[in-house]
Amino acid sequence: TGVLTGTLIKSLNDLWHFTILFMLVFICFALAANLIFGDRGDFADLQTSMQTQFLILLGELPDSYTQDDRMITYVVLTNVVMFLLMLNFLLAIIVEGYTQVRQDILENESENEFCHDIVLSIYGEVLGAVQGWPAKRDVAFVVRHYVGSRKISPLHLLRQGWDYGVVRMFKHYHKMDD
């Protein structure tokens, strides 16, 4: 998987818990606003309170909010808790997922950089030409017919009638396992 999808997959469980917590805190703030400021039109019921609160998070402040100290406190608390704290929780979850994905990629030996992979491919082709390695379809045949049933040794390949190029190739890659 890619870094983005891997991050989302690693973070999915924590994101689910964050969503529950966010909605719970959001609804509690909306209920508190409805109870305290229910006489105002923009907090008349729960749905309107939630809409007004969402607009506050986007930066649109209620009309004449500076005239009421309770409204100033509510706006500040809403922005601090919902915007600063909850947003930082969300970022921490995503960063942790990203860190886990990056660590998995660094630990995976088969994940190399693109340029490194190209150099290794060219090196393998040159080494194969110099050593007289067989065609890839011949290697696929050997792997398909012999590897599944037993361990292959260079001596076994020679006895089966394979040329020495196949044996040199298997010896080369056997050294990489050590």
153: DSSP letter: -
pLDDT for the residue 178? 43
Look up the pTM and report it: 0.58
pLDDT for the residue 29? 95
pLDDT for the residue 133? 74
Given a cut of 50, the residues of the chain with pLDDT beneath it are 177-178
Q: How far is CA 72 from CA 35, 62, 64, 75, in A?
A: 16, 10, 10, 5
- Give the model confidence (pLDDT) of 152-175 as tens digits: 666 776 777 777 776 777 666 666
* Selection from 157, 163, 159 nearest residue 135 by Cα: 163
pLDDT for the residue 111? 57
Token code pair at residue 86: 């909850």
